[in-house]
Structure 1
Amino acid sequence: MNHKLFYADSYLQTFTAQITKQVCDKDDKVYVVLTQTAFYPTGGGQPHDTGYLNQIPVINVEEIDGEIRHYITEEIHADEVTGHVSWKRRFDHMQQHAGQHILSAIFWDHFNIPTIGFHLGREIVTIDLETSDLSFETAEEAANLANQIVLENRPITVQWVDLEEAKQLPLRKEPTVTENIRVVIIENLDYNGCGGTHPKQTGEVGPVQIINWERHKGNIRLTFVCGWRTIELMQRNQALVKGAAQQLQSKEDDIPNKIKQLLFTQKETEKALQAVNEKLILVEANELLQHAEKTSFGKQIAVNFTDRSMQELAKLAAILTEKDEYAITYFVTQNGENLQCICACGQAVKLNMNTLLKAALPLIEGKGGGNPKSARGGGKATVTGEAFLSHLIHIQKETQEA
Structure 2
Amino acid sequence: MTEKLFYEDPYICEAQCEVEDVIEKDGKFEIVLKSTPFYPEGGGQPSDLGYIDNIKVEYVYEEKETIYHVTSERPTGKFVKCKVDSERREDHIQQHSGEHLMSAAFFRLYKVSNAGFHLGNDYVTIDIQMKDMTEEMINKAEIEANSYIFRNEEVKTYFLTKDEALKLPLRKEIKAEGTIRIVQMGENIDYSACCGTQVRRTGEVGLIKIIKWEKYKGMTRVYIKCGLRALKDYQLKHNYITEIARGFSVEDSAVIEKIKNNNEEIASLKKQVNNLYSKIAYSEAEKLIKNAASELICVEYEEEDFDFLDKLYECLKDKKFILILSSIRDKKLLFAHNGDFEVKCGKFFKDNLKEFNGRGGGNDKRAQANFQDETSMRKFSEYIKKSQKNSKAI
Q: 1:210 is matched with which residue?
A: 210
SS in 2 for 1:211: strand
Segment of structure 1 superposing worse, 98-107 or 214-223:
98-107
Residue 308 of structure 1 deviates from its aligned partner by 5.5
1:51-200 equivalences in 2 (<5 Å): 51-186=50-185, 187-200=187-200
Residue 391 of structure 1 deviates from its aligned partner by 2.4
Distance 1:133 1:387, change over 3 A: same
The answer as to whether partners of 1:339 and 1:381 remain within 8 angstroms in 2 is: no
Q: 2:381 is matched with which residue?
A: 389
CA distance in 1, matches of 2:345, 2:64: 70
Residue 287 of structure 1 deviates from its aligned partner by 3.6
Distance 1:76 1:289, change over 3 A: same
Matched AA of 1:378? A
The answer as to whether partners of 1:313 and 1:342 remain within 8 angstroms in 2 is: no
Match of residue 363, structure 1, among 352, 362, 368: 352
Q: 1:263 is matched with which residue?
A: 263
1:161-310 equivalences in 2 (<5 Å): 161-186=160-185, 187-294=187-294, 298=295, 300-305=296-301, 309-310=305-306
Residue 321 of structure 1 deviates from its aligned partner by 5.8
Matched AA of 1:222? V
Residue 37 of structure 1 deviates from its aligned partner by 0.2
SS in 2 for 1:293: coil
Structure with greater Cα Rg: 1
Distance 1:197 1:309, change over 3 A: same
Residue 329 of structure 1 deviates from its aligned partner by 2.6
1:276-355 equivalences in 2 (<5 Å): 276-294=276-294, 298=295, 300-305=296-301, 309-320=305-316, 325=319, 327-333=321-327, 340-345=333-338, 351-352=341-342, 354-355=343-344
CA distance in 2, matches of 1:50, 1:242: 37
The answer as to whether partners of 2:131 and 2:220 remain within 8 angstroms in 1 is: yes
Give the number of aligned pairs.
388
SS in 2 for 1:384: helix
CA distance in 2, matches of 1:401, 1:318: 22
What TM-score do the two structures reach when normalised by structure 2?
Answer: 0.89
SS in 2 for 1:215: strand
User: Deviation digits for residues 195-214 of structure 1, max 9, x if unmatched?
Assistant: 11111111111111122111
SS in 1 for 2:73: coil
Distance 1:168 1:358, change over 3 A: closer
Distance 1:49 1:304, change over 3 A: same
Distance 1:302 1:5, change over 3 A: same
1:43-58 equivalences in 2 (<5 Å): 43-58=42-57
SS in 2 for 1:358: helix
SS in 1 for 2:392: helix
User: Deviation digits for residues 191-233 of structure 1, max 9, x if unmatched?
Assistant: 2111111111111111111221111111111111211111111
Distance 1:63 1:285, change over 3 A: same
Residue 356 of structure 1 deviates from its aligned partner by 6.2
The answer as to whether partners of 1:314 and 1:342 remain within 8 angstroms in 2 is: no
Matched AA of 2:12? L
SS in 1 for 2:149: helix
User: Deviation digits for residues 323-354 of structure 1, max 9, x if unmatched?
Assistant: xx554432244677x75332225x9xx633x4
Percent of aligned pairs sharing the same letter: 30
CA distance in 2, matches of 1:261, 1:67: 63
The answer as to whether partners of 1:359 and 1:395 remain within 8 angstroms in 2 is: no
Residue 279 of structure 1 deviates from its aligned partner by 2.7
Distance 1:77 1:210, change over 3 A: same
The answer as to whether partners of 1:361 and 1:377 remain within 8 angstroms in 2 is: no
Residue 367 of structure 1 deviates from its aligned partner by 6.2
The answer as to whether partners of 2:41 and 2:61 remain within 8 angstroms in 1 is: yes
CA distance in 1, matches of 2:163, 2:74: 45
Residue 146 of structure 1 deviates from its aligned partner by 1.4
Residue 73 of structure 1 deviates from its aligned partner by 4.0
Instruction: Give unpaired runs (5+ residues) of structure 2.
Output: none
The answer as to whether partners of 1:344 and 1:375 remain within 8 angstroms in 2 is: yes
CA distance in 2, matches of 1:334, 1:24: 63
SS in 2 for 1:386: helix
Matched AA of 2:391? T
The answer as to whether partners of 1:282 and 1:319 remain within 8 angstroms in 2 is: yes
Residue 307 of structure 1 deviates from its aligned partner by 7.9
Matched AA of 2:218? G
CA distance in 1, matches of 2:207, 2:51: 30
CA distance in 2, matches of 1:311, 1:40: 58
